[in-house]
Amino acid sequence: MQLAPPPTVTRGILLMIAAILCFTAMDATAKGLIERYPAPQVVWARFAGQLLIVLVLLNRRAPVMLRTDYPWLHLARSTCQLGATAMFFLSLGHIGLAEATALTDLNPVLITLGAALFLGEKLGPRRIAGVGVALVGALIILRPGLGVFSPWALLPIGAAIAYTGNALLTRHLGPKEPVWTSLLHASIFGTAVTTLALPFVWVPVLGPDLWLFALVGVLGTCAQLCIIRSFSTTEASVVAPFAYLGIVFATGWGIVLYDQWPDLWTVIGALVIVAAGLYRDSLLMLKVLHQYNCPWSVHACRQLAELPSSCPTCPRPRSSGSCAASPTTSAAR
């Protein structure tokens, strides 16, 4: 496989960071709106805004992109995405932004588990350990039985599970159809379902809040497009770990906008979840970066005994074989 040059790697990382910044800004905006409006109304703004922007970007290509050979899979994927968004937004009216984001960040390890169960991907000791440790981190945040547990905290976990289903279906559909098809179907489904709910929950929108509703849709769509571009230009294993910056951004938004400081146990639990995810992905990320001759990644891989002695950038004695990280050869061990 032809790999992108290092500047493209940097661009992919920056796009992922921009996506996470937009997502957390959208969540922070939604949290403020949910204090004054019903959650379904805010979720409607999220999907209606995305639908409008996608239709503008696709223009005459929209009818073509809407065609699919897998309508039921798109229906299931769209249901998962709507469920994840709805549960997360609903939780924001009852728990802090940092707590909700930390619990939702269980989804990477749940995706690992789901990929092994449903897609037949290998689940080795490293990934099993990552899943177990991440669940411990969630329990630290939830603290059931200690008098501080809130049932509303289960909503972000439900959102993480729904997002896992969305991600697995996206992975299954990805090689078969353009990503615009998934975006369009999800936007239409989310807008249609929430529109049906609007007559029962609608609260008149105050003038100053109109731009906030619009901002939710714009930020969500920008985040989606940045993620798509990031994964299309750079190896997923390199950019995915940067998604954990969402906890940092969410904490910052919560402090600045709502004066909500996470407690010590939430911080500890979030760090455990992040460490589990990074532990799970670290070797793969380092191997990919090693292909670009990044000195620090070479050193780290060597310390973990993951590079063969024949690697041209590794100052260990050489022997026959080829670099395990090379895209054009098989692993030496």
- Helices (H), ranges, 1-148: 6-34, 39-58, 62-66, 71-91, 97-104, 107-118, 125-142
Side chain identity at residue 68, one-letter code? T
Both tokens of 155, joined, read: 């909503």
Confidence (pTM): 0.77
Specify the pLDDT at position 168: 84
What span, in angstroms and rounded, lies between the C-alpha atoms of 251 and 242? Answer: 16
Annotate 123-137 with DSSP letters as a single string.
--HHHHHHHHHHHHH
Per-position pLDDT tens, the chain of length 333: 444 446 777 888 888 899 999 999 999 999 999 999 999 999 999 999 999 999 999 988 999 999 999 999 999 999 999 999 999 999 998 888 988 888 888 877 787 777 777 777 777 777 778 778 888 888 888 776 554 467 888 899 899 999 888 888 887 887 788 888 889 999 999 999 999 999 999 999 998 899 999 999 999 999 988 887 887 777 666 777 788 888 889 999 999 998 888 888 888 888 888 888 777 666 555 555 555 555 444 444 444 444 443 444 343 333 333 333 333 333 334
Exposure b/e, 52-62, CB count within 10 A at least 16 = b? bbbeeebeeee
Both tokens of 329, joined, read: 């050869």
What span, in angstroms and rounded, lies between the C-alpha atoms of 102 and 187? Answer: 26
What span, in angstroms and rounded, lies between the C-alpha atoms of 32 and 38? Answer: 11
144-151 long-range contacts (CB < 8 A, ≥24 apart) are 150/94, 150/95
What span, in angstroms and rounded, lies between the C-alpha atoms of 152 and 31? Answer: 14
Annotate 265-300 with DSSP letters as a single string.
HHHHHHHHHHHHHHHHHHHHHHHHHHTTT-HHHHHH
Could you give the C-alpha distances from 155 to 173, 183, 271, in angstroms and in order?
27, 24, 20
Instruction: Decide: 314 and 289 in contact? Cβ < 8 Å.
Output: no
Specify the pLDDT at position 320: 34
What span, in angstroms and rounded, lies between the C-alpha atoms of 105 and 7? Answer: 28
